[in-house]
Amino acid sequence: MDQTTVIEHTAQYVKKSCEGDSSGHDWWHIYRVWQTALHIGREERADLFVVQLAALLHDIADWKFHDGDDTVGPPMARSWLEGLGVDEATIAHVCAIIGDLSFKGAGVTSLMKSLEGMVVQDADRLDALGAIGIARAFAYGGFKGREMHNPERKPGRHESFEQYKQGAGPTINHFYEKLLLLKDRMNTQTARRVAEERHRFMEEYLERFFKEWKGE
């Protein structure tokens, strides 16, 4: 099976698996990450076959929907890619990216081991910034039944992945626990340029949010 057909089959598979999602991790999140990763990958001269497969499969079994188990995704991706006859080197690379991709807490460094991993991680993190990032944050908070904001509950700094996975604070806290940290954790120059503007938009949004919260 040629690479184009593998990508097409994988996109169809992921789209079907995401049907009905209302948490902000739907097909359109995957699609945006896929297209953003393609753009960054071209700019950074990465292997676009690996980039596209990892972008499409990066949330195939997100730990947030598997009781905190972050080991489910790579085996599922491997099973799918083996079924398509993808070569072992590509499968191993894609699975390594999926395994290392997630944000794991403010106090945890998540270093990617390849350029392709850096590209996909940047694309995923860019989708957590800006107008769409704000919308996704509140969609996920509502999905999990969390408060929008509670001034009596302060943001925390998670020093381990386990602490981060157990966090269940209001959605506004998530901006300080993760979203506002992402700009300075981009891997590629291409992503850093995009992140700057999206980060500023979130800061402006929060300023307006707190004004309205106080009735101003």
- Write down the domain spans for the chain: 3-213
Mean pLDDT for the stretch of residues 89-97: 95
pLDDT: which is higher, 17 or 30: 30
Query: Which tokens is 178 given?
Result: 């993760």
Give the global pTM: 0.89
Of the pLDDT bands very low, low, confident and very high (cuts 50, 70, 90), residue 171 is very high
Look at residue 22 in the predicted model and tell me its pLDDT: 76
Look at residue 70 in the predicted model and tell me its pLDDT: 67
The pLDDT tens digits for 124-160 are 999 999 999 999 999 999 888 899 999 998 887 665 5
Whether residue 119 has pLDDT greater than 80: yes
The pLDDT tens digits for 48-63 are 999 999 999 998 866 4
CATH fold of 3-213 reads Hypothetical protein af1432 (1.10.3210)
